[in-house]
Structure formats: C-alpha cells, structure tokens
A and B are shown apart, each in its own frame.
Chain A
C-alpha cells in the first residue's frame, strides 16, 4: 500500500488496515519492537519491586541514571552507557543494603535530588541543545535506531531470563527472608542481583518513558496486577501484559495525536489504576481467593 504513506493517518474499525498503517514507517516499527520488550521486562521486574516495597528506590535509580546519561553526553558518549553505569552501581549499593534500605526515604531522596542536580549541571555545561536532556527526562522512543532496538532486545531478554532463573528463591526472600536464609537461599547475593537487574530494566525503560515517568512502566502495571490476583505467577504475567498494553496504547495514541508518548502511557496506566481501585472497591474487599 504505497499510497498509505501519503495519506493522512488512517484510523477506523478495520484492524488489519490500522495495523498496516501503524507499522508502515520504520520509526514506528522500531518503537513497537523496543517498547514491547522494554514493557515486558519492566512489568515482570515491577511485580517484585512492588512486592519488595522498592518503588521509591526504583524511582530514585532512574534519577541517578539521569546524572549518568547527561554526564555521558557531556563527555561525548552515548547516554545509555552513562545511564547503565550509574544505575547499576547505585543498584548494587542498594542491593547490598538489603532490608536496611527500607524506611530510608530521606537518604534515598537526597541522593536522588543530588543526582538530578548533577544532571542539571552537566546539561548546562554541555552547550548543545537542551533537547538531549528533555529526551532523557521524558523519553524519546520515536527516535530509536535499529541498532538501539537490537541492544534493547538483548538487554530486555537478559533481564526477563534472569528473573525467571531466580524466580522461586527471589519470591522466597521477598516473602520470608529469614526462612529463605535458613533454607540456604543466598539472600544478600539475590538482593544485589535483583537491584542490578532492576537497574538495567530501568535504564531501558528510560528510553520509552524517560527518567521522570518511570513509575508508568515499573510500578503502575504491577500495582494494578496485585489488586486482581493473589497468585504470584499470575501477578507477574498480568503485570507484564498490562505494561505491554499501556505501551502499545500509548504508541498508537501518539501516532494519531501529536502529543508525547510518555504522556499517553502514563495516562493509560493511571486511568487503569484508578479503574482497578474503583473495581476492587466495588467488589467490597481486596483480593480474596483469586
């Protein structure tokens, strides 16, 4: 359909034609490919983030990554390299702290603010356009190259596979750390490994929703999933599915309406969260035997 490219964006009830339209341009294909794998990995890891009470730590990780990303730009490198270096180091430290990380909101918040401040300084010192910084803060999924897609694919698959590989002991330490330790689970090692995996997932997700909207992919899907199931395996799956759906819906909406993708993804995620809260309020109680 060569004429599609010339026409105004088509949208109708013909799903096949809608999809052809959406995936016609390489930039949209890349956005969907990278967005899907990023969402899958964020959804899977997000379930454990919420269960372990690490939402704020995940949020802070992305802000720490901002300093790394802008620092890398200042030094003439790729933002993703600085992003990964900073989030993974910070993740390792947080993981080593383990349970002691909980209730450290003030410390985490201050490190987060310091990182944003550093990022601000690096952006100021880099006399290029502020567009780079905006892209890191709010995501730039439509600018993603096929090489970025390949890197994202490898990193996304690696994070999901690693979570699958440690699934049972990770769940055990999350729910019952003392018994898990007595049963020979390497609690501290798992805590560090989890935070480093999370750091990679956060760094990937920054490409889609940016540093500031990381909650949209890491926390929102998992928080909704936990309202609908009391089975961990289903919770992980539902969280991953929701993250992918929000991403697809956001990309689709942003194709037709010229507003930022990040806005649409968090709009869908937030709307779904509100609906989920209303629904479970309507049912009466929180999850029973489902």
Chain B
C-alpha cells in the first residue's frame, strides 16, 4: 500500500463546472481533497452529486475549469479508483455468485478468458471478501442476498482492484439505520487500513458524523466543502440554496436540515 503523501492533494478542482450538453448542473467549484480523507457528498436529488463522481471517473468531461485526480486528468479505466454505483435492485434470479462479482473487480476489463494467474486472483478475491466479512454468503447467488450483504460484496469488488480512492454512490440507501451505521463504519475502517481516500454520497449525514472528515455539499448549482459543523449551518446552507434553510441539532449532536423539501422537489421536477 502506498503511504500517505501528506501535502499533495488527490483531487484538485479549480473553477470546475459540470453540464450535460447545454444544461448546466453546477459551476465554479474549487476544492481539494487530501489523501486518506473521508468526504461525505450531500445535497438534494438531482443537484449533481453523481455527476461529480462521473467527472472524477472520466465518464463526463468538465464543462469548464480543471480537475486533477491522483495527479492526472480523469480518465476511464483508472485502476486507482474503486467505484460502487448507485444500485438498483439486483434480479433475484440472477444465477451468479457474489464471488463472481468480486472477481470482475480484478480482471473484468481484460480481454479473453482467465488464464495463468487464476490462483493468485482467487486469493485476492478471498482477501477482499474477508475484508468485508462476507465469506459466509459469497458463494450464494447475489440476487438472493440482503441489501447490506450485496453492498458488502460490491464494496469487495471495488477493493479487489486495490484502488487508492473509493467513490461510493449512495451505499447506505435502502439499508435500515443499524446497517447504515455498520456499513459506514466498515468503509471507514477499510479506508484507514488501506490508506484510501473516500467520497461517499449520502442523503443523511447523521450515520456518517462520527467518521467523516469533511462534507462536500452540492446544491443549487454550486458546491461547498468543509467540516460538517462549518458547512451544515443555517447560514451556509441558506446561502448555498439561496433560500431560508434551518439546521437543527438534537441532544445527541445529530443534525437536521429543515426547509429543503420544497427545494429538492423543485430540483426533481
């Protein structure tokens, strides 16, 4: 594993803008992410959170500004990035084991059939499965597993490629609260152990509060980054949304953003 390179950021965005064709999603985003940082990406539906990941993966070119990922311009097929997209449900009858999904993370993009280093790759698959504690059900058809079990195996797939950065699109969606916390802690643990930088898209900051370093808020055509306590404030969010937003705190330190409902409905429409 590569040691932490303190001081040289793994993501550098300068006046970055994202657009699909002529439709501008957000613009003027300038931020950096340091190696080993755990960043939660928040914002209403349709605000362009997944679009940010697409830019980092090289699947979408910046509409303006510049973006560097791990010292290079983003490009498709970057082996240093592990990616878990937002998951629609997997067909219950899909006749494929979780283990086969994980295996694709190592050599799925190579041409031909597997030859030669099969034993080494099998071992890497085993290691990745063990790392997410999924050995008990990795040989069952993946469609038959629970959402949390599937999420672990998809995480193992991303890890099997031995990345330096993880991009996770709503890995906590459709999980119950207890599993949200378990999976979030698992990601944080794996990131620490492997010195991974993590960008994780989420709807609710609360299960992530104990583990995130910073929050990247995507809303209303713009982006803001900072520590949760700095960004998720009544003033910051009201400015970002250009609308009256209120952030409430409960006795456990949980944060609740109020006044977004109309905004997110507006963006979805």
Contact = CB atoms under 8 A, between A and B. Distances in A.
B104 A175 contact: yes
Contacts of B141: 230, 286-288
Interface residues of A, number: 31
B139 A289 contact: yes
Nearest to B93: A286
A165 interface: yes
Contacts of B144: 286
Given A182-B59, A230-B141, A167 B109 contact: no
A168 B110 contact: yes
Contacts of A229: 95
B101 A176 contact: yes
B124 interface: no
B260 to A, nearest CB: 27
Given A289-B139, A289-B140, A183 B109 contact: yes
B114 interface: yes
Contacts of A226: 95
**Which 7 residue pairs are nearest across A and B when measured between Cβ atoms?**
A184-B77, A172-B108, A289-B139, A178-B85, A226-B95, A183-B109, A182-B57
Interface string B176-194: 0000000000000000000
A185 B77 CA distance: 7
Contact of A165 (B77, B81, B84, B111): B111
Given A176-B104, A184-B76, A230-B97, A168 B112 contact: yes
Contacts, number: 104
B138 to A, nearest CB: 9
A167 B85 contact: no
A135 interface: no
Nearest to B79: A183
Contacts of A287: 95, 141
Contacts of A181: 59, 76
B83 interface: yes
A180 B109 CA distance: 7
B113 A289 contact: no
B265 interface: no
B109 A184 contact: yes
Contacts of B197: none
Interface of B: 57, 59, 76-79, 81, 83-85, 93-97, 100-101, 104-105, 107-114, 139-141, 144, 157-158, 161
A119 interface: no
Given A171-B104, A172-B104, A179-B83, A230 B111 contact: no
A151 B105 CA distance: 39
B57 A235 contact: no
A227 interface: yes
A227 B111 contact: no
A182 B76 contact: yes
A193 to B, nearest CB: 12
B157 A168 contact: no
B112 A289 contact: no
Contact of A288 (B101, B114, B140): B140
Contacts of A172: 104, 108-109
A230 to B, nearest CB: 5
A235 B76 contact: no
A278 interface: no
A231 interface: yes
A210 to B, nearest CB: 28
Given A168-B113, A183-B108, 13 more contacts: A51-B96, A168-B104, A171-B104, A175-B96, A176-B104, A182-B85, A185-B77, A185-B109, A230-B97, A230-B141, A233-B113, A286-B141, A289-B139
A166 interface: yes
A260 interface: no
A77 interface: no
A128 interface: no
Contacts of A134: none
A169 B110 contact: yes
